[in-house]
Copies of this chain bind each other. A is one copy, B any other.
Amino acid sequence: MSIITLLTDFGTDDEYVGLMKGVILSINPSATIVDLTHQIDSQDIVQAAFTIHSGYHYFPEGTVHLIVVDPGVGTERGLLALKLKNHFFIAPDNGVLTLLLNEKEISSLVLISNSSFFRAAVSRTFHGRDILAPVGAHVANGLDINELGPDIDVQNVVCLENLGARRIKNGEIRGQIVAIDHFGNLITNIDSELLTGSLHAGPEKKIQIKIRSNTINGLSETYGGVRSNTPLALIGSRGYLEIAINEGNAAQFLKAKKKDPVRVLV
């Protein structure tokens, strides 16, 4: 039994994801392959970084996570294999692993170079199929990731700056929207720890959340915590501050988009 998750920006209109699965099953016929999502916005490394970081621990230890959000495919960018808390991550060296690398419990971090685990013919445009899928299948088969290439120091891989929200002097938190989900909920990069640690805030606390020209007072516990069609803020299931509309679509209602700033005031 081995589990491989796929996180890509390929969408599901095409056969690309299906071909990756074919390659995996050719090497590891008993793999259980799970689509984490293929709807990362095209080339959005930040969104992918939050998605894998907040999601991987729902899978059992030993799971292999393939992340194929890879604007630099075919260029000289490297490919990484990471072992962390007994999970495995195979991804381009483009910052998509930043939040995981910040966890500082790295067992191994390797620059993938051993082409004996690649497909025989590697296209210039589809490393997901020709490198990441076969490498992931071998790792799920038990291959030690140190067989994939030399160790690389975390200082030498690409990390994204300012991914997280930050607290400024007066206690205010400044973050931004990093994802908008199917329901139109706005997911921020303000995690519950920063929020509660900084403000000792609870549902009862009089904090204010500012987004565009709107002010939301206090945190709700559920989407149903306010009147219909009223904006609310809550700690979402990801563990991050989320802005929603009871029975509505917050992205449409607030005309909000990714990267819009979100501020939390004491």
A: which residues have CB within 8 A of B? 1, 3, 5, 7, 10-19, 21-23, 25-26, 29-30, 32-39, 42-43, 51, 55, 58-60, 63, 71-75, 123-126, 129-130, 179, 181-183, 221-224, 234, 236-237, 247
Q: How many copies does the complex hold?
A: 3
Contacts of A123 in B (CB 8 A): 236-237
Chain A facing B: main interface SS: loop
A21/B34 contact (C-beta < 8 A), A124-B222, A125-B222, A181-B14 known: yes
Known contacts A224-B72, A237-B126; is-contact A18 B36 (Cβ 8 Å): yes
Can you spell out 29 A-B residue pairs with CB atoms less than 8 angstroms apart? A3-B29, A5-B22, A7-B15, A11-B182, A12-B39, A13-B37, A13-B39, A13-B182, A14-B37, A14-B179, A15-B55, A16-B182, A16-B237, A17-B37, A18-B34, A19-B55, A22-B34, A26-B60, A29-B60, A42-B183, A58-B129, A71-B247, A72-B224, A74-B221, A74-B223, A124-B234, A125-B223, A125-B237, A126-B237
